[in-house]
Amino acid sequence: MNFDAVVIGGGIVGCTAAFYLARRGQKVAVVEQDKLACGTSSKSFAWINGTSKTADEDYHRLNALGLTGYAELAAEFGEKALGLNPAGSLQIVRRGDDTNIKTVRDKLDQLQAYGYPSGWVDNHALRALEPHLSLPDDAEGLFAMGDMNLDAPKFVHFMAEQVRTLGGTVMEGCAARSLEARDDGQVTGLLTDAGTMNTETILVAAGPGTPEVLSALTGYDGFAARFPMRKVPGLLVRSPDTSPHQLVRRVVYFAGGPELHILPDFNGGLKIGADDTDGMVEPDSSLDDVKRVAAILLARAQERLPGFAGPECVDDCTFTIGVRPYPADGHSLAGPLPGAPGLFVIATHSGITLSPELGRLMADLIATGRTPDTLQPFTLSRIEGLG
């Protein structure tokens, strides 16, 4: 089997990169050891945004370009086909909360300085935007009208189907085992459960499993310990359908008070999480422990949404604990692996937001051999001793 490029990882980053490679005329294969979108992609809050990334301008603009990528795909294929809800996001704060209102106001100032579509909404506008929320009279908020949320598994499967339509191959239940390479280190192939794929270009997009995949491929155990990436668990609660009501219409974050973020799930219910409850669970937590933490989130949601069943529906909810890849410096790792010609890596937090832009940039790099300027700050060459 001969391919121009093989992508390891059937999540949102891998399948989107494969799509852009195929669009450039590359004969592409995606190999996924399990099922498409079975990992972090299916366990993410799936908020597409540049709103939460304001500290570094290069990283903010990379995320903003991710939104542009989704808008372009939606113009071509339609929001419904992609599983896209382009309704924006709200970060709600009380006027009397001096610390948090300054933080959110400062964020808005920075976003507007970057040219990011955003504005301030008063209490009357908040109630019109989210009529089911119980809000104090001094609640106001930051409205990022360009933000979106995504049915990530649906999007992954759509991208995979586009790869097939463009002549590519997508293989599930097919683990990558080891690289084949010349004496000078140039990749020549990939040994998989389905046999050897002959290729001089391999892209690893394995999410939190990236260090272990690199170790297995190269035979160098040090990658598992030295690759600069943390693994951070996060609990999400998905409620049953709340019909006939749509209790929230967009991504809603509460700045201050009990932590809570909510968005409309594509099953008709709510997707609920909070930063502080993430630290209360681990991937191997028992169901009873997960339900205990989930009940905390459901109670917080009920306080904000009086029409919601709250903890009473805990047995009808589904729970996911996603393990999110966090590069050590907080920014994406994307580009050639130093010292391994033909081997490329994408490892990033915010993969939902970034997948269209990182996929496009990586396809440009692989097809032309030139690193796009936008990608340059995020290449692996910035990590000392990685090669």
pLDDT tens column, 117-157: 999 999 999 999 999 999 999 999 999 999 999 999 999 99
215: tokens are 């170790």
**332 and 206: one domain?**
yes
**189 and 336: one domain?**
yes
Assess whether pLDDT exceeds 80 at residue 386.
no
Q: Is residue 82 assigned to a domain?
A: no
**216 and 239: one domain?**
no
In whole angstroms, what is the distance from residue 95 CA to residue 352 CA? 32
Structural domain total, the chain: 3
Q: Give the torsion through C-alpha atoms of 71, 75, 80, 83, to 10 deg.
A: -30
**194 and 319: one domain?**
no
**347 and 289: one domain?**
no
Contact 43, 320 (CB under 8 A): yes
Instruction: Work out the mean pLDDT of the chain and round it to a whole number.
Output: 95
**135 and 283: one domain?**
no
Cα end-to-end distance, the chain, whole Å: 29
Instruction: Kindly report the pTM of this predicted structure.
Output: 0.96
Q: Is residue 84 assigned to a domain?
A: no
In whole angstroms, what is the distance from residue 324 CA to residue 359 CA? 18
Q: Is residue 75 assigned to a domain?
A: no
Choosing from 121, 145, 169, the residue where a domain stops is 145
Q: Is residue 281 assigned to a domain?
A: yes
Per-residue confidence (pLDDT) for residue 360, from 0 to 100 = 98
pLDDT tens column, 4-17: 999 999 999 999 99
**273 and 128: one domain?**
no
Q: Is residue 54 assigned to a domain?
A: no
In whole angstroms, what is the distance from residue 148 CA to residue 196 CA? 40
**40 and 172: one domain?**
yes
Ranges of H-type helices in the chain? 12-23, 57-77, 79-82, 98-114, 123-129, 152-165, 210-218, 222-226, 275-278, 287-304, 351-368
**239 and 314: one domain?**
yes
pLDDT tens column, 249-296: 999 999 988 999 999 999 999 999 999 999 899 999 999 999 999 999
Over residues 328-354, the mean pLDDT reads: 94
Give residue 266's domain range. 231-324
**238 and 317: one domain?**
yes
Q: What is the CATH classification number for the domain harbouring 196?
A: 3.50.50.60
Choosing from 274, 305, 324, the residue where a domain stops is 324
Residue partners of 284: CB distance under 8 A and separation at least 6? none
Q: Shortest CA distance to 18 belongs to which of 125, 168, 183, 146?
A: 168
Q: Could you tell me how far CA 86 lies from the centroid of its own chain?
A: 16
Q: Judging by DSSP bridges, how do beta strands 187-192 and 176-181 pair with one another?
A: antiparallel
Q: Is residue 304 assigned to a domain?
A: yes
Q: Is residue 81 assigned to a domain?
A: no
Q: Is residue 57 assigned to a domain?
A: no
Choosing from 302, 324, 346, the residue where a domain stops is 324
> By percentage, how much of the chain surpasses pLDDT 90?
90
**238 and 315: one domain?**
yes
**248 and 119: one domain?**
no
* Sheet order of strands, 187-192 included: 176-181, 187-192, 195-198
SS3 of 8, please? strand
